[in-house]
Amino acid sequence: MSSILKVSSLSLLVATFAHAIATFDFKTTKHEKRSLVERGGVVYKVFEHAATEARIEFAVDFGICERTPRVKQYSGYVSVDEKLLMNGVPEYEALSYAWGSADEPSVVQVGTSEQALLPITRNLDIALRHLRHVKQSQMIWIDALCIDQASTDEKNHQVAAMGEIYSNAECVTIWLGTEQDRSDEAFDLIKHVADTIEVNYQMLTMTPSENCHELERHFANPRHVLPYQDGELDLVHQIYDRPYFKRVWIRQELALATRAVVRCGKKIIEFSDFRKAVTCFMIKSFKVNGLSDGLLAAFNKTRLQIYYMCTVVANCCTWKQLRLYLGDAQCQDPRDRIYAMLALLRDSERRLGFKPDYSTTTEDLYTDVARSVIIQNQSLGLLDSCDLTSRALNVPSWAPDWTSPPPLSTLNIQWSACAWITSEIRIVDNRRLRVAGIPVSPVKEIIAANLGLNSSTEEGCQSLVNILRRLKPTAEELSARCGTSRAWVQMLCSIIASFRYAESSRPPNPLLPRFEQFVDLVETICFTDITTTELRQRKDLRLNKILPIFRHAWLGFTFFKCYDAYIGLAFPGVQKGDLVSVLFNSQYPVLLRSCPGPLLDGPKAWEVVSVAMVADLMEGEAIYGCNALSHRQAVRCEKEVFDMSGLIDSQQLGMYNYETGELSQEPAEILEEMGIKVESYQDYPHRLEVLPETLRAAGVRMREFLLV
């Protein structure tokens, strides 16, 4: 057995709560009784509120020390209960760490009783030995020691109080592990970057810090690439790849901490500095040789996920964003993928009233959450997180499987496939929903979209040519959709370069290629016999600029073609015969799969395969008609020029009229311009009501779908 960490005499360090209430303040109450109680060789100082019977107990003169000759070093821990105001609790720290493997556990002995042994993981053992002070006691809240993991009732109460625990800690210590993989050098690099910049997280902008040297002001300029080369960014990647950042609970612990420090071995950096550097690494591009071969995809994935971890704040997250914020985080109990995020949800999202309950199953929890979110919000936004092929749990196809990691890349939303129209969503039973929508066209062909993120330019160019020429329309398809090759390419580029071209934002982003430059390249590939060698030599086609954009935009997706000549981009798993549909209450087109066998009690049942990007459907064309949008374009509006009162369902989107130069942020006005009467509209929570008979009169082919 490894050495025992023993509770030994020193200071008041352990606290437990009984009958805690939300408004009881032990520091200020005038109705407090004090007493001493001895249990199991441990003396507790008890504070009890006479009227409410709320109790707090502190162990007296106890700490944790290592049972080693001539060594006497101490630390300790404190436990609190749900919603208890912390004013009367002595100052304490909280530890944020990864539990690590349960193999070869260490042991903590509590109190004077030899029977009071608690197993802890080796990683926690190592953390305690690094963090304890030599000459003074500490009070540290540590989940493994403060929560009885075998008690469902205690876990329910303590987990519900985690937000309170971390927000009231004097400091949260983030333990990344011991020094290894040149982590000391990595911390020096991170601190250097942080010292050069200040970050406005709301506007997502950087400015040089007050003491930034003139020669290093480039760190704050997003147009300048990071200066690192010869694999120097490998150091940052090694830090990002630590087990700590794969733990689901750290999002809450980081977001709610009043102050936090990041510690790796003996190196310490303020979390506020660490977060600045993380943001810089996320915003700025870097040189190809800044990373060693084979690390590009992994680094791009981790820098995005860790950016979300480090910048998430309380009252900002939505259920719709949950899968994105979770990333590929790990936890021993999959229910914690919900419970760990509760304290970060917006107030409006918390009204569903979910609290930790470890007596319910994971499948029931996920289904209950999805059903409640869909019905309360009258939105199908959760379908963005549903992917039939990655589903491992027995949940309905319209409920996200939050145990599955998010896709390698995300689909860009452009406007709203359903023109922002909402329609009543009805619950049939625990696993079935009735929704309204428009059937569009079945899938007839699947085309792989892999450009090889780490392949050479030559290999990527050849893959690009092969894919685009497979997408090239027949004469019949060209006539059915667009009429001219240029118009067809413009239609295709609206999804394959979605919101990644200069004019896709207002004001335009000068760092990105213009839309017509994407069109020129794709048209040349599809409608000429140019070779890959000639293509790489044509500087005017900007292949070196556009190919990396396509590599990232298509990563993890597949193309499909429909019988009505529609072209789309979706998650893997789409099959021939899947139905492209536009469902009211969903911004994306949705791929549905017919369930086998007839149903006796209603319409045909459909499974949600995934959402998709489909050319000529992304901006409400199924409602407005394609010709009605000939002079309009959906854009993302930058915060510095955006009227924040004009948010559409909390999104910075608008419809830009490039003939008049006007920007519309009112979906109801656009529908009225198209001759479609709107009964009512409110921006938040989003509701836009149009009567079914009004839509049918406008030529919209509505029908009902039963989702299972």
- 58 strand-pairing partners: 15, 45
Q: What percent of the chain shows pLDDT beyond 70?
A: 82
Pick from 247, 20, 13: which is nearest to 141 by CA?
13
The CA distances from residue 313 to 245, 261, 337, 413, 414, in Å, are: 17, 17, 17, 23, 26
**Percent of the chain as helix, strand, coil, to the nearest 5:** 35, 25, 45
pLDDT tens digits, one per residue of 67-103: 333 333 333 333 333 333 334 456 778 899 998 887 8
pLDDT tens digits, one per residue of 523-536: 999 999 999 999 99
The CA distances from residue 299 to 182, 191, 450, 575, in Å, are: 17, 19, 19, 31
pLDDT tens digits, one per residue of 447-465: 999 898 778 889 999 999 9
pLDDT tens digits, one per residue of 108-123: 665 555 555 677 888 8
pLDDT tens digits, one per residue of 559-587: 999 999 999 999 999 999 999 999 999 99
pLDDT tens digits, one per residue of 248-294: 999 999 999 999 999 999 999 999 999 999 999 999 989 889 999 88
- 47 strand-pairing partners: 34, 56
Query: Which of 137-141, 200-204, 358-362, 653-657 has the highest average model confidence (pLDDT)?
Result: 358-362
pTM for the full predicted model: 0.80
Chain centroid to CA 20: 33
Q: Whole-angstrom Cα distance, residue 627 to residue 1?
A: 76
Strands 42-49 and 4-8 turn out to be unpaired
Q: Whole-angstrom Cα distance, residue 520 to residue 601?
A: 53
What amino acid occupies position 191?
K
Q: Which residues contact 151 (CB under 8 A, 6 or more apart)?
A: none
The CA distances from residue 257 to 67, 87, 106, 254, in Å, are: 33, 16, 28, 5
Would you state the pLDDT for residue 577?
97
What amino acid occupies position 303?
R
The CA distances from residue 585 to 437, 438, 689, in Å, are: 9, 12, 11
Residue recorded with tokens 């066209």: 441
Q: What percent of the chain shows pLDDT beyond 90?
A: 51
Q: Are 579 and 593 in contact (CB under 8 A)?
A: yes
Structure tokens at 501: 């071209």
Which of left, alpha, beta for 600 (phi over 0: left; psi -120 to 50: alpha)?
alpha
DSSP per residue over 221-250, as a string?
Answer: -TTSPB---TTTTHHHHHHHTSGGGGBTTH
Q: Whole-angstrom Cα distance, residue 421 to residue 493?
A: 26
Q: Which residues contact 466 (CB under 8 A, 6 or more apart)?
A: none
The number of helices, as runs of H, and strands, as runs of E, in the chain is 22, 29
